[in-house]
Structure 1
């Protein structure tokens, strides 16, 4: 009975709205007519879009305006057959003739001149109409709330969830999550690159490419011929990538130019454990695709963010130890799973949303899942962050793109000089050895750079599970000053 009553009320509202749309009815403004037709359409179960309009002869003053069903008309097969699209859109056009047309005499009032009620398609259910495009709109007040929450560090998803709860359901919010993401993305759109700056930058790329055969650059423009993205690298960067490109660090958290473009240095580690640049990109968004790579998240950032989700467990040392073991110190996937289960069971965390999310990302953040992949010891994006900070010091928010690229070239040249200096040091000197006369280390000192040798030596010493004491005389001079004493389990 209650359901029937609700249907009767809905039908009653539709009839009232319909009576206001009858031919000959007066409307005060175009906006009033549009909103009235939208309200009628949403109660009926269809969406509205603005259609054709006509002006009085020899003027820009409107004489008539149409509002149509959003899927009226048919797909233009002749136009679409000229090219094959990678992404095939759904067919939504039904050639429905439903519409509202309002007209007026010169200087007269707006009146309904045509109202077509009939539809040739199924209507949306009542619980779906809030998803219709013409039913969705982010009001100024809700935009302000959304922006304030995101600027305070709250994710768009979490902000929308909060606003849905405040509105007593997503159907009452007035917009969808996609609308919220689109709005926040639009706010981050870069400012139009000045013509002189873009011209100077492209001229520099062209001149450099003419001088250096292997210099590569590429610029992408948007529909308004604005610079959206650009990337460049010289021949030396290509060689460095060939030699050291097994591990690539990218940090896109900084926007260090006046156009609000994302600065993305592509950073690696060379044979001296120094930063090396593979190229530089400026992007209008963070969409990057590396289809054949194994992607890892930055453990440092995760651990910095983790305490905000731990609540009362922040003061529990045993829990913290389990967390760090879970992230970094499990040597196998089985040990990882056992640690996870122990942590969850011990602290009753089965329903912890953030931890469950981290578990789903375990292959991208926990070292237990990447032990078989070379990472050069890199667990964080600190290499890229340090690079960004160097670039930030060399430039400021008012630097043009051309100035930024010039400063980047100076920094890169400085890094390459440091690499030459270290190359010279390695050619004319050998590292001091902890383990004297060890055949493996003797060979390592010949083939490794000093920095890499020191890392290798420490790894070897740790693998021996030993400590160094004064040598007893029975070992003779061949052992020099070293005695190896195996530690007991108690000493570990």
Structure 2
């Protein structure tokens, strides 16, 4: 087994003292440290043995990495940072702006954008409580007092059409019935299909 900071793939005769590393992130420093694992099967001794070379190959030529005790794990934010980020997400603040503020207020968490994306996704899944996308859609419609109507395929029970409107908008429509504005939001979903379609019959 060799040190992962060695130059084993760079050639044996390379002069490391004059090697130039321009704009590189490599951690290789030419360390020749290595150990051998051998299985001994002698009458008086049996088992695995770790053997190190007595010369240069038995020593590292670099300092070891020191890890701080109790260092915040990279996998997530602190509870206080999560509460703060959730409050900003509820106010519809952009994640880039949230990231900037969280980085200033909680520098010891070493936050990054992946933390915020994971937090947002976990909160979304927790709010769905095991429901699929369409079940969550109908749940939110009921929760926020929307009037909705759906049409399903009789054979597959797949929803094919839906209509929803808020109670406040129905009151506005009754007050001002002469002008109706419709926003089609045309072809902005991943299926490249319109969200809105109008069908009419002008026959008498």
- Structure with higher helix content: 1
Instruction: Specify the TM-score bucket, using the shorter chain as the normaliser.
Output: 0.3 to 0.5
* TM-score normalised over the length of structure 2: 0.34
* TM-score normalised over the length of structure 1: 0.16
